[in-house]
Structures are given as C-alpha cells and as structure tokens.
C-alpha cells in the first residue's frame, strides 16, 4: 500500500492517544474567543462556518474509522454523514459548500456533543484494538486533516469577524512592533536538486515521490515583502497599470474593484490593517499578507523581479532545519520579515501539478489532493496560523490565483549568472 510506507515506527497506541487528544482539543481552543453567532455564518463561499469545521473533522474519524472498523459502532446522528462530508464523492452525498451558512442546525452545543461522542469512541477503539497499518495511516491522516482545518479556522474566523460592520477583536493582547528587515539574497548554483518528501514521518501524496529537478542559477530574497514595499507599489499606481498584470488578474482587479490587499483600508489618509488583534495602524516593516497570486505577480513585475518556482523555494527552505520555534502559540499575525518560514505562505509561480510518478493515496483518501490539480498555484513555507507538528519544507499548499483570505505573502526571486 502506498500510504503504509510513510508511517513512522513510533506510532504506538500511546503516542496516538496522546497526539489525538492534543490535536482534537486544540480545535475547540481556537474557538474559545468567539461567540455562538460567529460559529454559524458564512460571509463568502470559500469560508465555512466554524461549527461546520468542528463537525467535519469529527465526521472524518467517524466515517473513515469508526463506521468501517469498530464493530457495533452506532453513528451519533443519521443525517450528519451527508451534512459534514466536504467533497468525498465515494462517501455519498454532501451538502453544497456555499450552503453551509444557511444551516442553523445542528447547534454548536450539539456539535460539541458529537465531538465528545466520537472522541470517547475513538479512544476506546484505539485502546482496545491492535491497529493495522491502514488504521494507523487513517488516524494519522485524520490528525493532519484536523490541523489543516485549524489553520482554516483561523482564516475563517478572521474573515467572519472582519465582515462585520461593527468593530471586532479576536485576541486582546497587543501586537508588538515589527523589527526592520535587513535585505539580502541567498544564491544557488545551476544543477540537479532533489525535490519532494523523502524522510520518515507523515507526508501527503502530493509531496512524493522525491525526485531530481534541474534548476538554473537563481537567488531568493532573505526577507519577505513588507507592507511598506507594497504601499509603494500602490502609491506608484500599481493597481491601475495593466502592464504589471496577468490578463485574468487585470479583469479581476477591474471587475472586483480591487485597490488594496484584502484587510487594508485607508481612513483620512492613514492606512490600517484588520487583524485578529483588531483594526491596527499599518506597520510598514511587517510582512505583507492576504494578497492574491495576481497581486503577488504584479508586485514582482513592478519590482523587475519574479516569484520563485516551488522547486526554488523548497531548495531555499531546505537550508534550515525545522525547530520548535515554529510554535506560534500566541502570535496570530506575521511580524518578522526576516524569518525563513512560518510567517506567511509564499506564492510561487508554479501551478499545482503532479510530481513525476505521483500516485494518489490508496483507498478512501485518493480524493485528497490529486483532483485539485487544476487552476491552482502552489504556496510554500507555512504561516503563523499553521499548527505545530504539521508543517514540513516539502509541504505544498495551493490556492486559486484570486484567493486571498489565507495568510499569503511574497518572497521574491531572480535569475543570476
């Protein structure tokens, strides 16, 4: 089996139980600071109501593990299977994504009860059974799946709060001033590089197999693009000069009347940014965040530079090994343009496609990644909302070129001789 090989040896019952409880409780923690009303709404189609995330991640464990492997297991509620399926055609019908915000029921309390019911059952299941490779893989995948939704929870909660007309705030503590970035370039020579996941531990199918890739000499910026740099682009009328824009990007800018990054606003000549810390004055040293591929590409053109390919960015990231510092337990906004990863997902010029000899996960999770390889661009490097123990440098995030509600930013590249 394709997925069995990727499992580390230490996936014992105990380690699973511990990780399971840690990861599952984190989802509820994220929601501690919002109101019941915030759990239910869907101000744009890409956003899901937080209560849907809480139900859907639970559904994953119920449908892919308990229903299939736990003899005598009774579903918590007969209608939740269709309600909390996101897009798995092989697992029956699912509710249209854009309709999630139309459903007031089940209530948040009922979904929390659903979580408890499934958690108790799964803990009992893990404790009582010898797990097969497939089960271990599915639990591991379910935890990574839940972590992806934790990042989505931050993104969606931010969008939901910011969609209100009255002011809102998620975190009450203040956000410190950002340090001034020091610009520099990391240079890389021509040649064959290894790309993709080749280590122990969990990885998604789309990161594999590791393979050779030929690169020409390039340099990557040691700093992320900052608010200050992007403000200069705006002041140079970057949004109204077609020469910087992709054809579809130009149409998007004009049809949607785009004039600044998603959460920016200008009041009486002063610029502000809506963050999980509330509306705050724009800090020019802070990493730029919440921009589309179209904007990233136009900005790079204006700078007479370019976006890196995903292979180039992976080579750059591989210079550093991951440390515990990735843990952003309290930081909810990018604040250091000098960090190599873990601040903002960086747009690459690579459209999301299969690595040579790519195989989808076997079995029930074969719909996880491959079917989205169309009209999306790859982003690399993790962000402040990415949970601990989830990210790898080979991680391929992907979004459509007009999307901006994720923590997306820019790290520039250039050709060298």
Of 103-111, 119-127, 271-279, 334-342, which part binds a second copy (CB under 8 A)? 103-111
Q: Which of 13, 19, 75, 95 is the binder for a second copy (CB under 8 A)?
A: 95
Q: Which of 22, 120, 192, 266 is the binder for a second copy (CB under 8 A)?
A: 192
Of 58-66, 73-81, 118-126, 333-341, which part binds a second copy (CB under 8 A)? 73-81
Residues 42-61 that bind a second copy (CB under 8 A): 42-44, 51
Rounded to 5 degrees, what are φ and ψ at 262?
-45, -50
CB nearer a second copy, residue 20 or residue 233: 233
Beta strands 185-188 and 377-380 are unpaired
Q: Which of 38, 229, 283, 343 is the binder for a second copy (CB under 8 A)?
A: 38
Q: Is 362 exposed, middle or buried (0-12, 13-18, 19+ CB in 10 A)?
A: middle
Find all residues with CB under 8 Å of 152, minimum gap 6, and list them: 48, 53
Q: How is residue 325 written in tokens? A: 């510092």
Give the start-end residues of each E strand in 107-202: 185-188, 191-195
Does 194 contact a second copy by CB under 8 A?
A: no
Does 256 contact a second copy by CB under 8 A?
A: no
CB nearer a second copy, residue 160 or residue 332: 160
Query: Nearest approach, Cβ of 118 to a second copy (angstroms)?
Result: 17
Site track for a second copy across 75-94, x = CB under 8 A:
--x-xx-xx---x-xx----
CA distances from 17 to 20, 62, 77 (A): 5, 16, 24
Query: Nearest approach, Cβ of 214 to a second copy (angstroms)?
Result: 5
How many residues in the shown chain lie near a second copy by CB under 8 A?
70
CB nearer a second copy, residue 136 or residue 396: 396
Does 245 contact a second copy by CB under 8 A?
A: yes
Does 168 contact a second copy by CB under 8 A?
A: yes
Of 105-113, 132-140, 170-178, 258-266, which part binds a second copy (CB under 8 A)? 105-113
Does 21 contact a second copy by CB under 8 A?
A: no
Alpha carbons 129 and 135: distance in angstroms, whole number: 10
Vertex 71 angle, CA 69 and 73, to 5°: 95
CB nearer a second copy, residue 284 or residue 305: 305
Block residue for tokens 């950002």:
178
Block residue for tokens 């604040």:
335
Which helix (H) or strand (E) element contains residue 114?
helix 108-128
Of 9-17, 129-137, 240-248, 260-268, which part binds a second copy (CB under 8 A)? 240-248
Q: Which of 2, 148, 163, 285 is the binder for a second copy (CB under 8 A)?
A: 163
SS3 138: helix
Does 249 contact a second copy by CB under 8 A?
A: yes
Does 267 contact a second copy by CB under 8 A?
A: no
Alpha carbons 414 and 328: distance in angstroms, whole number: 30
Q: How is residue 213 written in tokens? A: 């890739």
- 160-197: buried (b, 16+ CB within 10 Å) or exposed (e) per residue? bbbeeeeebebeeeebeebeebeeeeeebeeeebebbb
Alpha carbons 245 and 221: distance in angstroms, whole number: 22
Does 253 contact a second copy by CB under 8 A?
A: no
Q: Are 288 and 226 in contact (CB under 8 A)?
A: yes
Query: Nearest approach, Cβ of 7 to a second copy (angstroms)?
Result: 24
Q: Are 171 and 279 in contact (CB under 8 A)?
A: no
Alpha carbons 212 and 206: distance in angstroms, whole number: 15
Rounded to 5 degrees, what are φ and ψ at 370?
-55, -35
CB nearer a second copy, residue 20 or residue 80: 80
CB nearer a second copy, residue 71 or residue 304: 304
Does 212 contact a second copy by CB under 8 A?
A: yes
Residues near a second copy (CB under 8 A) are 35-44, 51, 77, 79-80, 82-83, 87, 89-90, 95, 99, 101-108, 160-161, 163-168, 192, 211-216, 242-243, 245-250, 293, 349-354, 356-357, 366-367, 371-375, 401, 415
């Amino acid at each position: 089996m394709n997925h069995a090989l990727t499992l580390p040896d230490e996936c014992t019952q105990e380690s699973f139980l511990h990780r399971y409880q840690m990861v599952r409780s984190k989802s509820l923690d994220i929601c501690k600071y919002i109101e019941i009303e915030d759990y239910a709404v869907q101000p744009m189609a890409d956003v899901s109501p937080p209560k849907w995330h809480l139900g859907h991640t639970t559904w994953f464990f119920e449908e892919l593990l308990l229903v299939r492997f736990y003899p005598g297991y009774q579903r918590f509620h007969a209608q939740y299977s269709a309600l909390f399926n996101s897009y798995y055609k092989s697992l029956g019908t699912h509710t249209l994504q854009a309709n999630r915000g139309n459903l007031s029921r089940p209530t948040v309390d009922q979904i929390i009860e659903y979580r408890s019911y499934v958690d108790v059952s799964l803990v009992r299941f893990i404790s009582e059974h010898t797990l097969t490779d497939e089960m271990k893989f599915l639990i591991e995948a379910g935890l990574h799946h839940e972590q992806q939704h934790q990042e989505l929870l931050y993104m969606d909660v931010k969008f939901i709060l910011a969609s209100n007309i009255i002011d809102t705030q998620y975190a009450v503590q203040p956000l410190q001033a950002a340090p001034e970035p020091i610009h520099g370039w990391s240079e890389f020579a021509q040649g064959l590089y290894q790309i993709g996941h080749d280590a122990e531990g969990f990885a998604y199918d789309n990161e594999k197999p590791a393979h050779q890739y030929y690169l020409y000499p390039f340099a990557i910026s040691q700093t992320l693009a900052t608010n200050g740099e992007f403000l200069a682009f705006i002041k140079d009328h970057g949004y109204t000069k077609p020469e910087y824009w992709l054809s579809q990007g130009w149409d998007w800018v004009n049809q949607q009347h785009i004039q600044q990054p998603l959460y920016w606003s200008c009041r009486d000549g002063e610029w502000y940014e809506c963050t999980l810390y509330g509306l705050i004055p724009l800090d020019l040293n802070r990493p730029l965040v919440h921009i589309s591929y179209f904007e990233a590409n136009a900005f790079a053109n204006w700078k007479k530079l370019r976006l890196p390919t995903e292979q180039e960015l992976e080579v750059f990231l591989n210079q550093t090994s991951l440390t515990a510092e990735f843990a952003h337990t309290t930081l909810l906004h990018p604040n250091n343009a000098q960090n190599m990863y873990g601040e903002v997902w960086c747009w690459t010029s690579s459209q999301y496609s299969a690595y040579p000899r790519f195989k989808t996960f076997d079995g029930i999770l074969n719909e996880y990644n491959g079917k989205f390889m169309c009209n999306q661009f790859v982003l690399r490097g993790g962000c402040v909302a990415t949970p601990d123990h989830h990210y790898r440098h080979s991680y391929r995030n992907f979004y459509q070129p007009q999307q901006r509600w994720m923590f997306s930013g820019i790290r520039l590249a250039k050709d060298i001789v």
